[in-house]
Amino acid sequence: MKVPPFNNLENADAAPTDPLALFYDWFAQAERSEPVDPNAMSLATADATGRPSLRMVLLKGMDERGFVFYTNRESRKGMDLAANPNAAICFYWKSLGRQVRAEGPVEFVDNEEADAYYASRGRGSRIGAWASSQSRPLDKRSNLVEKVAAIGKKYPGNDIPRPPHWGGYRLKPERIEFWHEGKDRLHTRVVYTRNDTGWKREMLYP
């Protein structure tokens, strides 16, 4: 897709009609320019009372269905999403002066897809998924080290099944905003909102 100079857009009509195609283009550029983890994104969730929490996670899949990440479903974010299955994510690529935000409902990734991703992880990461009671109190680090050793002994080979409490989530975007840094803080912002016929584009004041 040929992307126009985003920081010089005159109006929303000059922006690409498909926000997902635009995201793919920006992400590909970020993979070439960001020195570490271009797929890092902040993930905001809220519990049943509306109290928010925020952390960094890694994007592990993206297609027309949405943005995919993986975690322990008994972690704080997992508990938040069980109570309130909506979230927001934000990518910031400093080398490009760009930011992408997305919001929408969240659903489970199916078992087949989760199994395939889990199998692609290194042995140590797979063992860690079993050993870590993510987000819960840890008396001392040696307890974690002992659990890692015990899981490694239980599964001495490379055949380590996916823990039942560990899996993927897919954020299905209903709103995606693209931000491009501008001189004197006159940034370019275009927001896409999903409707019955596709995506509505609007330019926002910086």
| Residues annotated catalytic, as ranges | 185
Mean pLDDT, residues 21-27 taken together? 96
Domain count, the chain: 1
CA distance 144 to 97: 39
CA distance 191 to 102: 9
User: Does the pLDDT value for residue 4 go beyond 60?
Assistant: no
Here the CATH number for the domain that contains residue 54 is: 2.30.110.10
Asked if residue 140 belongs to a domain, the reply is: no
Asked if residue 148 belongs to a domain, the reply is: no
Asked if residue 158 belongs to a domain, the reply is: no
Quick: pLDDT tens for 100-111. Answer: 999 999 999 999
Domain interval for residue 75: 6-118+166-204
Q: State the pLDDT confidence band at 1, using cuts at 50, 70 and 90.
A: very low
Asked if residue 138 belongs to a domain, the reply is: no
Mean pLDDT, residues 118-129 taken together? 95
Quick: pLDDT tens for 44-69. Answer: 999 999 999 999 999 999 999 999 99
Asked if residue 132 belongs to a domain, the reply is: no
Asked if residue 1 belongs to a domain, the reply is: no
**CA-closest candidate to residue 91, choices 132, 31, 142, 138:** 31
Strands 61-63 and 198-204: unpaired
Asked if residue 130 belongs to a domain, the reply is: no
H or E segment and range at residue 58: strand 52-58
Q: What's the pTM? A: 0.92
pLDDT at 8: 82
